[in-house]
């Protein structure tokens, strides 16, 4: 049986920009691709997070890749 990933994302990270591409199911079952470029300031990275979450499936992605608060 072939494994199919329903939603995917690629990031191209540079010093001043991050280009993101998401592929999601379209309304008629075809694949849709959305590409957007963000800056690397905190505000832009938070906008990238929000943009990616808008295309997510509600599970929150790979939790281990998320930043963690340092323990005190």
Cα 4 from chain centroid (whole Å): 18
Mean pLDDT score, 6-18: 93
The answer, as to whether pTM is greater than 0.75, is no
pLDDT of amino acid 2: 78
pLDDT of amino acid 21: 95
Instruction: Say how many CA atoms lie within 13 Å of 57 toward its Cβ.
Output: 11
CB-count burial class (<10 Å; 0-12, 13-18, 19+) for 68: exposed
3 state DSSP class of 21: strand
pLDDT of amino acid 29: 82
Give the model confidence (pLDDT) of 16-68 as tens digits.
999 999 999 899 988 899 999 999 999 999 999 999 999 886 655 554 444 54
User: Which among 6, 10, 66 has a CA at the least distance from the CA of 37?
Assistant: 10
Checking if the pLDDT of 12 tops 90, the result is: yes
């Amino acid at each position: 049986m072939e494994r199919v990933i329903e939603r995917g994302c690629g990031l191209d990270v540079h010093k001043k920009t991050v280009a993101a591409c998401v592929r999601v199911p379209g309304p008629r079952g075809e694949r849709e691709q959305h590409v957007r470029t963000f800056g690397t300031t905190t505000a832009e990275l938070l906008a990238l997070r929000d943009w990616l979450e808008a295309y997510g499936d509600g599970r929150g992605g790979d939790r281990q890749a998320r930043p963690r608060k340092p323990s005190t």
